[in-house]
Structure 1
Amino acid sequence: MSPMRVVIIDDTRLARQELRTLLADIEGVTCVGEADDVPAGLEAIGRLQPDLVLLDIQMPSGTGFDLLDQLDSAPAVIFTTAYDQHALRAFEANALDYLVKPVVPERLAAAVAKARVRPAQAASGATAAEVAPRGPLAADDQVFLRDGERCWFVALQEISRVVVDGNYARVWFRDEQALLARSLSALEARLDPALFFRANRNTLVNLRMVKNIDLGVGDGYDLTLRDGSTVEVSRRQARELRERLAL
């Protein structure tokens, strides 16, 4: 098994040095680079393609969440922070892990072990928008979603549908939803067309999430998704859906 490639992003030199020293004691892990702010972190992720990022939250050039917002596809991330854990309560359930400084060696080793078995980990790492051209995301690619102070790491295949909400798009996944400041067309261009289908002018649906298909009004269809929600397929899109799903 090849070593896990790790990048450390922290604005404090001593903190980076401490993490690098701790990582050296963990078998099967290689620290391939460091960065001290958001722009340098984006460049390092795009250039080095790490499997895991140890990411500080508060940096002079922005936050770790600002950095994740700018990634097409997020690698596995472990937050490292000087904040008390209560300040991270909103993120605890959704981040891979977080470590409060000073980092305890056993906690770091356990967090790295968790990263090794993360099923949604993309083998190729993440790509920064500034470094590589944008292409369609695959089903197993992991994306970072942020709605106000709530954040999630989500594999694309976990998203059930994307719906227009005014000038924004609402993304439904697991038992959660997030409102993104992006148009439906912009999101459609980034999603795997083999996975997501434009059911009508306002909705993209994950075809893997479809549980039942029933005849709808005007030669259209009504899709029932695994979460119990329904999506109407317009008459115009019904023919394409039949072609997509036919043997």
Structure 2
Amino acid sequence: MKCFIIDDEPLAIEVIQSHVDTVEGLNVVGTFENAIDAFHALQKNPVDLIFLDIQMPKLTGLELLRSLSHPPKVIITTAFREYAFEGFELDVVDFLLKPVSLERFLKSIAKVLKSEQNTSVPSEMEGSLNDSCLFVQVDKKTIKLYFKDILYIESQKNSVEVVTEAKKIQVRQKISDLDKELSQKGFVRTHRAFLVPIDRVESWSATELEVSDRAIPIGRTYKNDVLKQLQDYYDRKEYRYEF
């Protein structure tokens, strides 16, 4: 995915550039300290995404955006919160307040990727695809994991292990933090050490469930909630299980 960074502050450009460098497949092909130069560059070299400051001399970021007949996807980067409404009226993907943290940046990139996938899929198929993803830090790299590929997540001593069909990934993050993020994404906390995508569950009892031939315990603290979520989910899917 090719992108431009447009900002009249060199330090702000450096910050966004460093964030971009952590994401595989995202490539900065131009940086500009004024919107006029960026406008001319966009006529010759269309890109997929621009990170756009608002307050710039001669031509503001929003004026630049209005001047483009076919603008790419846009993430606004600014220190001025009051421009958010106007930016979203222009159909920007996201609005980042400076200073931009890596965590917040990655959430914006996830929105861009999701919108890319949604526009390339026929509307009648959208509901059948699980195109949500999770970005995790592994060593000095940022890795994108699709929820649909995750079998389960297991807590280790100082990290978690994300297990997919293809590999196991060690991530220095607390399982409790992932639980907060993933509980709204179809994952269920079965035990203090395990998070499981509910649609990966192949069978269950009152004390454990099975995912891809792995028996995963159901802790007593989590038992009632887990069993209720499982039953509700598979009832909606019109499956029937006998215990």
TM-score, L = length of structure 2: 0.49
- The higher relative CO (CA closer than 8 Å, separation ≥ 6) is in 1
TM-score, L = length of structure 1: 0.48
Higher helix share: 2
Higher strand share: 1
